[in-house]
Structure 1
């Protein structure tokens, strides 16, 4: 998926084609309903002419029976037709949500670039729903068109001028409605963009609520959200004004059109060209036509909003990947040798690094941005600007990102927990039926389980907010250890725990990862002390490497980064 991905029109077309059977069924049944509705005033006119005017009780009963049959038929047609249309709308929206989730979770990444998580949520929910609803609108429009055609044919049989007015006037009304929907389409797209941004800002602020309270930045956060929310409200009001203006104008045009039909029908009746029953039928049909024409107004608004939402969905689906995918298989078995040759990315400059299979390497960076850049390269969230990263002699760029992450796990400092149980979080990535108890003990998460009311089966709230910062860190580290990858990269996994717990975790980490390649990107003295050797990154370059104690003794920059 790249820059040549689908356009908004493609997204809309696929959403409709994928549900064509339900749309066709719903349109057919809806057409039956509308045809039945159109026949009701015709039958009433026949009752007047053939039963009431002639005082024929038998004819009256027969036509009333026919009316009852028509009402039963149009009732069932509406019920099952609407069911088919709703099913098409929901299934199309569901399919789009799945497609968006697959794109967001694609190992090559890129879909999230330039978008807050809340914005992606709005696109995957509200925009997908609006595009799916186009199926219902399409079905309703085709049903309304069938009703118009039936009404026009009946009017032609009653009077050619009346039928021609309907047949010639309807396309003009549809064209005007389409023109009037253009401002609504533009403003609807702006409304969704602003709403998505406001949702993203809100999610961002809620996620960092503890930090905001800690630094006393609540007022600044409130001001930021107030500004964003006000912009969203302004866009929503503009879209609402555009929708009301469009609906009002279409309704006025429709009312004028119906008035012309009624006026011509009345003049024909006054001249004796049509009977009383036919006049009643003509007036009844004119009133009936108001319904289908109002449906067309609604359909135009739905299509305008659907097109705007489809364009936003297409923007996510067509987002270029952050990294390209290779086709070489993973080395078998994965020994865990990692090499960086001339890697430059972000603040990193010509970094050369060798990690032997089974080695525990510490990496201390004087600038946190350099550590983040290294993690992006090792996890293939981004490829180096220059240089290569290799796994067992194979360039990572030549490996499929999904396969690579089965061999190399990068555990970020701010990794989130999921809603579920404590054991469920730790064992989420564990291979097979592996027991996570050893990983929990190594990460110190077993202590957390002992303090909770239901132990490891205690429920964990969304993002692990029911746990403290240190508890979340230990559970996230236990999850990374339980995955048992050949290469594990951990980033500052103990910043929120006390010194005694940190020392225990360091020893447990050393023991459980024995014989497995482990890279500790941290400035924690306790963790660096258990590493086989430590590499110092200063100003984006590797400036020294030695055991922790040796670097403390001989390098001032290392002492500053690690001991202060």
Structure 2
């Protein structure tokens, strides 16, 4: 409104001071113009601050909401999406949707300026006012139509960018493996192809945005030209004064700003709608498992029972794990071990059959509450930025001493070789440590959590034989009296278990102590000694 009043006041100065040579009126209206400029500067500063702040806060709220959904104990949001794609949605898409707040602020401001302009022109001339009032809605409608291709291409652009980010994150995570097998060239070719597809999508979106901006600018110029032409004819005919003509031309030039802002806001809204669809897809993804309404039995004894469980490659698995038992599980197919771990962790519910903890079905428990009693430590568990001690105590009770867990997992030996001991900084995903060191810290973290039931999967594949034997003894000692399941083919770990279950072809074919199974099962020997 302040910007729209500037050319109006200049017209007033011309009519009431310049044409009449009135110095007093000149000073008065120049003072009014100065006041308008001060108000314009202050309102611009406050408005821009408010708009940017609201966009940043909306972006942050969306990002937190997305992260909360991805980390929800019932899962589901990560299914079918690589971590890099989810990261792109939580950053770039959230940013674009948050920017809608800024676009709305500028858009409303532009509409108020156009309305002010129309009111002034109507007071000066009904014809000029009608030209603006009728032309602006048509211009807005055309701008909306022109933004449709941009919306479609912007969505495609974000999808390809997310895919490229996901591929890049995937390749970086497996960089050591790629170098070890000499797969760098294949990885580079794969990323180059993905990156070029992302580039093509970005260029298509940029062309659509340029076309939309150019067309809206051309249409805006036509409207301004019509206003100036009509105003000039009215001034020539004496229907309006010289000051009113100057105001009309000034307002016509002023219109260029708000109309350009509206075109920009339209483009921002189009991109925001595309990103909002992608965010909505993640937030609307169904949960993998449901949240039950029963509480954990108190106290948790640690009796786990699988009855007729079929899931993935598992077929009618029946298994009773007694409280305090140290059980080994050998799966001849690694995929079947993964299916078992998913059922125990409630990463998925069995297709048929039930899994119970102290005679309470896991389906009836809230996954987050279940994990306070039964911890499933994956083989590829990640470490976090911080220190070695921070990683070990990440899930430990506040008053717990991490020393026994670190000693049992062999982390004490690791800290002796590190510059700052247990306070040595660990980089993202623990990449500053060797593979064996990472495994030992991850195992110590699982042991320090001190859950009534602990399930670990291949916790010693990257350590030497002597260290593995020490870890096996430490694991048995520290978990004495609490239920522990070790899914592994390591002879050292299996030797310290109370008994071992052989999972062959998705079914339990035998259960006995490790030595007995070694004597009577060629399949078991092949799995353990291979």
**TM-score band w.r.t. shorter chain:** over 0.9
Which of the residues 511, 516, 521 maps onto 2:477?
511
Which residue of structure 2 lines up, in the alignment, with residue 201 of structure 1? 167
Query: What are the ranges of 5 or more consecutive residues in structure 1 without an aligned counterpart?
Result: 1-34
Shift of 1:466: 0.1
Shift of 1:390: 0.7
SS of 1:344's partner is: strand
For 1:311-460, list aligned pairs within 5 A. 311-460=277-426
- Is residue 235 of structure 2 the alignment partner of residue 269 of structure 1? yes
- Is residue 267 of structure 2 the alignment partner of residue 301 of structure 1? yes
Whole-angstrom CA distance in 2 between matches of 1:52 and 1:341: 97
Deviations 1:440-488 (A, max 9, x none): 0000011111111111111000000000000000000000000000000
Whole-angstrom CA distance in 2 between matches of 1:407 and 1:248: 62
Whole-angstrom CA distance in 1 between matches of 2:234 and 2:505: 92
Which residue of structure 2 lines up, in the alignment, with residue 114 of structure 1? 80
Whole-angstrom CA distance in 1 between matches of 2:399 and 2:66: 31
Which of the residues 174, 184, 207 maps onto 2:150?
184
Deviations 1:70-98 (A, max 9, x none): 00001000101111111111111111111
Whole-angstrom CA distance in 1 between matches of 2:180 and 2:199: 30
Which residue of structure 1 lines up, in the alignment, with residue 450 of structure 2? 484
Deviations 1:140-196 (A, max 9, x none): 111111100100011111111000000011000000000100010011111111101
Which residue of structure 2 lines up, in the alignment, with residue 8 of structure 1? none
Deviations 1:466-515 (A, max 9, x none): 00000000000000000000000000000000000000000000000000
Deviations 1:217-258 (A, max 9, x none): 111111111111111111111110110000000000000110
Whole-angstrom CA distance in 1 between matches of 2:162 and 2:296: 39
Shift of 1:534: 0.3
SS of 2:213's partner is: helix
- Is residue 198 of structure 2 the alignment partner of residue 225 of structure 1? no
- Is residue 133 of structure 2 the alignment partner of residue 167 of structure 1? yes
Whole-angstrom CA distance in 1 between matches of 2:55 and 2:143: 23
The structure 1 segments of at least 4 consecutive aligned residues displaced by more than 6 Å after TM superposition are none
Whole-angstrom CA distance in 2 between matches of 1:263 and 1:509: 89
- Is residue 118 of structure 2 the alignment partner of residue 152 of structure 1? yes
Whole-angstrom CA distance in 1 between matches of 2:177 and 2:507: 31
Query: What are the ranges of 5 or more consecutive residues in structure 2 without an aligned counterpart?
Result: none
Which residue of structure 1 lines up, in the alignment, with residue 220 of structure 2? 254
- Is residue 253 of structure 2 the alignment partner of residue 284 of structure 1? no
- Is residue 472 of structure 2 the alignment partner of residue 472 of structure 1? no
Whole-angstrom CA distance in 1 between matches of 2:217 and 2:36: 29
Paired residues in the alignment total: 530
Shift of 1:433: 2.5
SS of 1:429's partner is: coil
SS of 1:339's partner is: strand
> Please, what TM-score do these two structures have when normalized by structure 1?
0.93
SS of 1:326's partner is: coil
SS of 2:394's partner is: helix
Whole-angstrom CA distance in 1 between matches of 2:326 and 2:158: 49
SS of 1:523's partner is: coil
> Please, what TM-score do these two structures have when normalized by structure 2?
0.99
Whole-angstrom CA distance in 2 between matches of 1:227 and 1:435: 51
Question: What is the alpha-carbon root mean square deviation over aligned residues?
Answer: 0.7
Whole-angstrom CA distance in 2 between matches of 1:191 and 1:113: 22
SS of 1:387's partner is: strand
Whole-angstrom CA distance in 2 between matches of 1:261 and 1:475: 74
Which residue of structure 2 lines up, in the alignment, with residue 62 of structure 1? 28
Which residue of structure 2 lines up, in the alignment, with residue 499 of structure 1? 465
Shift of 1:538: 0.7
SS of 1:397's partner is: helix
Whole-angstrom CA distance in 2 between matches of 1:217 and 1:350: 40
Which of the residues 33, 37, 40 maps onto 2:3?
37
Which residue of structure 2 lines up, in the alignment, with residue 559 of structure 1? 525
